Structure 1
Amino acid sequence: MQRWKLTLEYDGTNFAGWQSQSDGKGVQDTVERAIMAIEGELRRTHAAGRTDRGVHATGQVIHVDLAKNWAPFRLQEALNAWLRDLGPVSVREVEAVPDSFHARFSAQARGYLFRMVDRRPPLTLELGRVWRVSQDQDVDRMQEAANYLLGTHDFTTFRDADCQAKSPIKTLSRFELRRVEGVFGPEIQARVQARSFLHRQVRSMMGTLSEVGRGKWSPEDVRDALEARDRKRCGPVAPSDGLYLTDVFYDL
């Protein structure tokens, strides 16, 4: 058996998240169906992160052990040939790795992108792929508030009630917001990086920062909410539409 590291891209809009589901609507189910088609047997996959329902990815990393003697290019082509008919998933990169590699436990950090637009007109081309807020957002004040979240903290305030992590303490090494000119017009992009995240932590933080952006909260209110370690102090949770898993970093 050879262990393979696969880098995936997918549109999470109609998936029930990464994890396998009883109704087969997880991204994992789709990928494993393609692997079964080329291997002839079920091969279990392991992902760097279990993205939630509706969350997208451009750099999700998984590993899988395969029995056949594949060349990397042939494996990538074979999987993508099947995935074209199974769902909006693409294998971007394929790499043979040692058995000691684990997509989740070997990861040193994970990076997410959150996209939002502040405009009144409804979305059409980007519907389901970016969060639309109807009020103008002050990105400088949002960044000022985000700076309070950098570093090591108890993120209980931004932790979902269903989170299964053993500890609420996480370390954010990057939280950058900026207004950019996207393909379909101006948008706000937030880049967040940490070794790992709590369940819905990024969405909880972004929903709260949007309150700052529209002037309902001050940056200091975010600091106080963080220090309160109280989920009730969190602002609204942003939808999954704008969230993308973009990077997983390893020492290989």
Structure 2
Amino acid sequence: MQGNKNIMKRNIKLLMEYDGGRYDGWQRLGKKNSGTTIQGKIEEVLSKMTGETIELIGSGRTDAGVHARGQVANFHTDSDMKCWEMKYYLNRYLPQDIGILYVSDVPERFHSRLNAKSKRYIYRVATGDVPSVFDRHYTWYCFDRLDMGLMKEGADLMVGQHDFKGFSSVKKTNKSTVRTVSQIDIDVKEREIDLIFEGNGFLYNMVRIMAGTLVEIGTGDRESETVKEVFRTKNREKAGMTLPPQGLFLDEVFYE
């Protein structure tokens, strides 16, 4: 579907959800893995739809196996297709584990990553006497009883502006590893505990390591005060385990 080349280039925003279970994460790293990443898969369909070479800009990367309920991305195009036509085309030709929830025209200067003010991630910890057969691809099951009071103590120590290098898998970097976590909530359900993290940015594996640290605090395997030690030393070995990817969801990206 070739667009009208005489119209001004448009900036299109996508809101999407996806099951990351069979993908190598969001980011396309060259042509080799374009079909095994979320970005690459959507770009393939967008390029066929518009007749152009489309580069999709995501609000941030999700790792292999991580899911999203509210990922945001944008792309530029000369196409004159209506937004509802784009949404229909994308959902018709994308795999069923990627869904486009909303398509809209946005100002030319809108950038899904640079304009994002904060993000919310949810890590789903399954509990109860028996692991759920049907939720096993979207939760991580904890066999041990968790103390919510201790976990809340640990979570409170994580909130604020800190150097989160010790809570990440980042190796050597020239970029700042200081981030602000504005809120951590613990939502207790019948057979599940949701760990909800909101902040202005997250480092590689940061949410999964923070969640793993809180779980170890909740089981009594570590003291809540070790959170301060991780911040002080910036040492990954001082923090808890990295929980598996299938329990993690990018829930929402916030803009002004």
CA–CA separation in structure 2 for the residues paired with 1:145 and 1:199: 20
Task: Give, in angstroms, the shift of residue 82 of structure 1.
Answer: 0.8
Q: Deviations over 1:70-124 (max 9, x none)?
A: 22212111111111xx351000111101110001001111111111112453442
Task: Give, in angstroms, the shift of residue 162 of structure 1.
Answer: 4.3
* Residue 58 (structure 1) aligned to one of 48, 61, 69: 69
CA–CA separation in structure 1 for the residues paired with 2:227 and 2:214: 8
Aligned residue pair count: 245
CA–CA separation in structure 1 for the residues paired with 2:49 and 2:174: 35
Aligned residue identity for 1:145: G
Unaligned runs of 5+ in 1: none
**Alignment pair present for 1:6 and 2:6:** no
CA–CA separation in structure 2 for the residues paired with 1:45 and 1:163: 28
Task: Give, in angstroms, the shift of residue 139 of structure 1.
Answer: 2.0
Taking structure 2 as the reference length, what is the TM-score of the superposition?
0.91
Q: Which residue of 2 aligns with 1:19?
A: 27
Q: Which residue of 1 aligns with 2:227?
A: 222
CA–CA separation in structure 2 for the residues paired with 1:113 and 1:38: 33
Per mean C-alpha deviation after superposition, the further-off stretch among 97-106 and 31-40 is 31-40
CA–CA separation in structure 2 for the residues paired with 1:162 and 1:224: 19
| Alignment RMSD (CA, Å) | 1.5
CA–CA separation in structure 1 for the residues paired with 2:69 and 2:162: 28
Unaligned runs of 5+ in 2: 1-8
Q: Which residue of 2 aligns with 1:124?
A: 133
Change (3 A) 1:37 1:165: farther
Conserved? CA contact 1:9–1:59, under 8 Å: yes
Q: Deviations over 1:102-150 (max 9, x none)?
A: 0100111111111111245344211221111111111221111110010
Spell out the pairing of 1:80-119 with structure 2 (5 A cutoff).
Answer: 80-83=91-94, 86-119=95-128
Q: Which residue of 2 aligns with 1:167?
A: 176
CA–CA separation in structure 2 for the residues paired with 1:8 and 1:214: 35
Q: Which residue of 2 aligns with 1:38?
A: 49
Q: Which residue of 2 aligns with 1:137?
A: 146
Aligned residue identity for 1:208: T
Task: Give, in angstroms, the shift of residue 195 of structure 1.
Answer: 1.0
CA–CA separation in structure 2 for the residues paired with 1:165 and 1:247: 28
Q: Which residue of 2 aligns with 1:196?
A: 201
CA–CA separation in structure 2 for the residues paired with 1:200 and 1:100: 30
Q: Name segments (4+ residues, structure 1) moved above 4 Å.
A: 162-165
Conserved? CA contact 1:163–1:199, under 8 Å: no
CA–CA separation in structure 1 for the residues paired with 2:174 and 2:122: 22
Conserved? CA contact 2:21–2:246, under 8 Å: yes
SS at match of 1:237: coil
Change (3 A) 1:161 1:120: farther
Spell out the pairing of 1:71-86 with structure 2 (5 A cutoff).
Answer: 71-83=82-94, 86=95
Conserved? CA contact 2:226–2:238, under 8 Å: no
SS at match of 1:13: helix
* Residue 233 (structure 1) aligned to one of 235, 238, 249: 238
Change (3 A) 1:14 1:164: farther
CA–CA separation in structure 2 for the residues paired with 1:236 and 1:77: 42
Taking structure 1 as the reference length, what is the TM-score of the superposition?
0.92
**Alignment pair present for 1:150 and 2:159:** yes
CA–CA separation in structure 2 for the residues paired with 1:158 and 1:203: 9
Aligned residue identity for 1:105: L
Aligned-residue identity in percent: 31
Task: Give, in angstroms, the shift of residue 37 of structure 1.
Answer: 2.3
